[in-house]
Amino acid sequence: MIVACPDGPLLVRGEVDIFSTTGEEIQQNRKTIALCRCGVSTIKPFCDGSHKLVNFRTEPPEPEATT
Amino acid sequence: MSDVEGLDLGVFNAGDADTMTIATDKPREGDSAPTYEPRGPLSTQLMAALATTPETGEGMLASFVPAVERVLGSTRDVIRDEDIQLALFVLYSVHYGGKGSADPAWEWNPVTIAARVAIEKVFERELRLRVPVAALPPAKAHSVAAALFELAREDSGPSLSQYVARTASREQLVEFLVQKSIYTLKEADPHSWAIPRITGRAKAALVEIQADEYGGGRAERMHSEIFAGTMRLLGLDPAYGAYVDNVPALTLASFNMMSMFGLNRRLLGAIAGHLAAFEMTSSVPNRFYGNGFRRLGFGPDATWYFDEHVEADAVHEQIACRDLAGSLAEDEPRLLDDIMFGARACLMVDGWVADDIRAAWASGKSSLRRAAPGGDRGAS
Ligand code: FES
For B308-328, the pLDDT digits (tens) are: 999 999 999 999 999 999 999
Q: Which residues of A touch B215 (CB under 8 A)?
A: none
Indicate if ipTM > 0.95. Answer: no
Of A5, A31, A48, the CB nearest to B318: A5
Asked whether the predicted pLDDT for residue B161 surpasses 60, the reply is: yes
**Last-in-domain residue among B101, B130, B159:** B130
Residue B338 belongs to a domain with what CATH number? Answer: 1.20.910.10
Total domain count, chain A = 1
Check whether residue B25 and residue B93 sit in a common domain: yes
pLDDT score of B27: 53
Check whether residue B181 and residue B308 sit in a common domain: yes
Ligand 1 mutation pick, A3, A33, A50, max ligand atoms within 8 A of CB: A50
| Domain extent at residue A44 | 2-53
How many residues are there in chain A? 67
Mutate: best of A47, A51, A57, A62, partner B, most B CBs <10 A:
A47
| pTM score of the predicted model | 0.90
Would you call B320 an interface residue with chain A, using a CB distance cutoff of 8 Å? no
Check whether residue B93 and residue B198 sit in a common domain: no
Does the residue A49 lie in any domain?
A: yes
Q: Which residues of B touch A33 (CB under 8 A)?
A: 315
Confidence of residue B165 (pLDDT cuts 50, 70, 90): very high
Does the residue A8 lie in any domain?
A: yes
Exposed/middle/buried for residue A4 (C-beta within 10 Å: 0-12, 13-18, 19+): exposed
Check whether residue B126 and residue B145 sit in a common domain: no
**Last-in-domain residue among B130, B154, B187:** B130
Does the residue B378 lie in any domain?
A: no
Check whether residue B120 and residue B153 sit in a common domain: no
Does the residue B376 lie in any domain?
A: no
Exposed/middle/buried for residue B64 (C-beta within 10 Å: 0-12, 13-18, 19+): buried
Cβ contact B313–A49 (<8 Å): yes
Does the residue A23 lie in any domain?
A: yes
Average pLDDT (B78-104) is: 96
Q: Which residues of B touch A32 (CB under 8 A)?
A: 208, 212, 315, 319
CA atoms within a 13 Å half-sphere pointing along the CA-CB vector of B34: 31
Bridge partners for A34 per DSSP: A11
Does the residue B277 lie in any domain?
A: yes
Asked whether the predicted pLDDT for residue B150 surpasses 80, the reply is: yes
Of A6, A7, A11, the CB nearest to B315: A11
What CA–CA distance (Å, rounded) separates B351 from B156?
Answer: 7
What CA–CA distance (Å, rounded) separates B302 from B17?
Answer: 51
Q: Average the pLDDT over each of A8-12, B158-162, B233-237, B375-379 and give the range with the smallest value.
A: B375-379
Mutate: best of A32, A35, A36, partner B, most B CBs <10 A:
A32
CA of B158 to the centre of ligand 1 (A): 18
Of A30, A43, A52, the CB nearest to B310: A43
Check whether residue B265 and residue B202 sit in a common domain: yes
Total domain count, chain B = 2
Check whether residue B48 and residue B125 sit in a common domain: yes
Check whether residue B67 and residue B167 sit in a common domain: no
Does the residue A58 lie in any domain?
A: no
| Domain extent at residue B62 | 9-130
Would you call B281 an interface residue with chain A, using a CB distance cutoff of 8 Å? no
Asked whether the predicted pLDDT for residue A7 surpasses 50, the reply is: yes
Q: What's chain B's average pLDDT? A: 91
Does the residue B375 lie in any domain?
A: no
Asked whether the predicted pLDDT for residue B137 surpasses 50, the reply is: yes
Does the residue B25 lie in any domain?
A: yes
Does the residue A7 lie in any domain?
A: yes
